[in-house]
Amino acid sequence: MNKEVSTIMTTKLVTLGPENTIADAREIFQNNHFHHIPICKNGILEGVITSFDLLRLNIAPDQKDKVLLGDVMTRKLAVLNPTDQIGAASIVLLQNRFHSVPVVDSDRKLVGLLTTFDLLKYQYQKEYPGDDFPF
C-alpha cells in the first residue's frame, strides 16, 4: 500500500456550493450512488455534506429549499494530499470510521475523494490482477 492516493482516488466528483440548499443535495443523493458531496467555493474545499447528515438534520419538507448547505455542512475535516500513501490514508479512514476523505492540493483546492469503495477496488485489483473490475 505504498502507492499514492492520487492513483486510486475518485476524481469525477459532483460538488455543490455553500449557497446551495438541502433540497439540492437531496436530489443529487437520490439520483446517484454515493453518499458524500464536497462543498466548494471557487474550487476550494469548504466542507462536506453526507446523506446521513440529511437524515440526522430532520429538516421539515417545506424548509429543505430554504436551508443553505453552508449553514449545516461539516467544516472541520480531515483531508489528504494526493501524494499521501494509501496505507496512511487507510489508517485515517479506519481510526475515524470515515467512509471518505477529501483530497486537496496545497492551496486546499479539491482534487479528489478517497472512499472505502476506492480502497476495496484497489485491493480487488491487487488480488485479481488482469481481471476487469465488475462494478
- Spell out the domain ranges in the chain: 5-127
Q: What does the angle CA 106 – CA 111 – CA 117 come to, to the nearest 5 degrees?
A: 125
Global pTM value: 0.91
Whether 133 has a pLDDT exceeding 70, the answer reads no
If you average pLDDT over residues 48-67, what whole number do you get? 94
Reduce the DSSP state of residue 59 to 3 states and report it: coil
Tell me which residue of 31, 48, 41, 42 sits closest to 113, measured CA to CA: 48
Pick the CATH number of 5-127 from 3.40.50.2000, 3.10.580.10, 2.40.50.140, 3.30.70.920: 3.10.580.10
CB atoms within 10 A of CB 69: 22
Q: With beta carbons less than 8 A apart as the criterion, state whether 55 and 13 touch.
A: no
pLDDT for position 3:
94
pLDDT for position 134:
66
